[in-house]
Structure 1
């Protein structure tokens, strides 16, 4: 069992490796964000290619402050960087954190990559960090993200209305989900089953 709160770590699966974010990942993140022009989705926070260095600086500053642990997602098949994710909103007293700021290149979507990323992050949170709960949040109107979170086995806790101001200046409602430590065994079984389905294709 590792000490809480989390520290930078490499998490390796069959389809992806999650690596602690650093400045050398800038070019790969620029390519990933450009694959599908993801910054055009108004309900996401994907950086434009010219903003990737700023994205990295902000993420690393939050890590230094103990607020988050950012990762890049590297696809095992070709070693390309295909996205980013992080532990964030790390509670210092209660062992609770959020998995968020997740985005993937268009070529990585509808593949086993997200399923395995969540399995790696959740397994480390519950089995190594002994977290009591892991949280997910998304924009109220991001229906695809809401469905994906529910498919993980998370439970919707509620909606924080007028919670944040979006990049376009509009107020955002945030939907909050969580998985409890007691629910992890069933969620783990579900995620492993989903990955096994990909192997059979």
Structure 2
């Protein structure tokens, strides 16, 4: 399978399916787009956010997914492979946002497990990165809970939608850490989801 080729990834709680314009009306709860420190779209901006992701995907710059909760067949969010480095190989997982109703249900944990497994086992990645706005403490805790290692604070490299310049927290999981991280995430899903 070629790097960033569209794929569907399925688990027990969610299915990650290639993002399409048909997913635009699916996520309406939680208003994550109102948080100043994220670039998640407002409900009215979901369609244009999807269009922008699909345009970038067409150029090979990213691979976006809709997250479908299997229990009720609802689309509950979006997550993306981005910043691919096929020569390394390495990739970042980000541009993730989830409906409020999906939080703390195990769906995001399983989504990340599916994405990490595909990156490390299908693509042979040496590292998978995660980045969050410095002030997005909820996302930073979620990344740390996955088992990603904090690599540093990148100063003044991000502009939020309201024009605020802020910092980024950089994390990564490497291929040598992957077996332990996979075991950890599998355990979390089995015992807490």
Deviation above 2 Å: which 4+ runs of structure 1? none
1:63 aligns with 2:57: yes
Match of 1:6 in 2: 4
2:90 to 77, 91, 96: 96
RMSD: 1.0
How big is the shift at 1:165?
Answer: 1.3
Cα distance in 2, alignment partners of residues 85 and 166 from structure 1: 19
Distance 1:171 1:45 in 2: 13
Give 1:55 shift: 0.7
Report the TM-score, using the length of structure 1 for normalisation.
Answer: 0.93
Given candidates 131, 135, 139, the residue that maps to 2:129 is 135
Q: Give the drift of 1:49.
A: 2.1
1:148 paired to 2:142:
yes
1:181 is aligned to 2:192: no
CA distance in 2, matches of 1:21, 1:158: 31
Compute the TM-score of the two structures, normalised by the length of structure 2: 0.97
Q: CA deviation at 1:198?
A: 3.1
The separation in 1 between residues aligned to 2:156 and 2:192, in whole angstroms, is: 39
Are positions 1:107 and 2:101 aligned together? Answer: yes
Cα deviations by residue, 1:8-48 (Å, 9 ceiling, x for unpaired): 100000000000001111121xxx2x301221111112212
Structure whose residues are more often helix by fraction:
1
Unaligned runs of 5+ in 1: none
**CA–CA distance in structure 2, aligned partners of residues 192 and 52 of structure 1:** 31
Deviations 1:63-114 (A, max 9, x none): 0111100000000000000000000001132101100001110000011101
1:45-64 equivalence runs, <5 A: 45-64=39-58
CA contact (8 A) 2:31 2:43 kept: no
Specify the SS of the correspondent of 1:130: coil
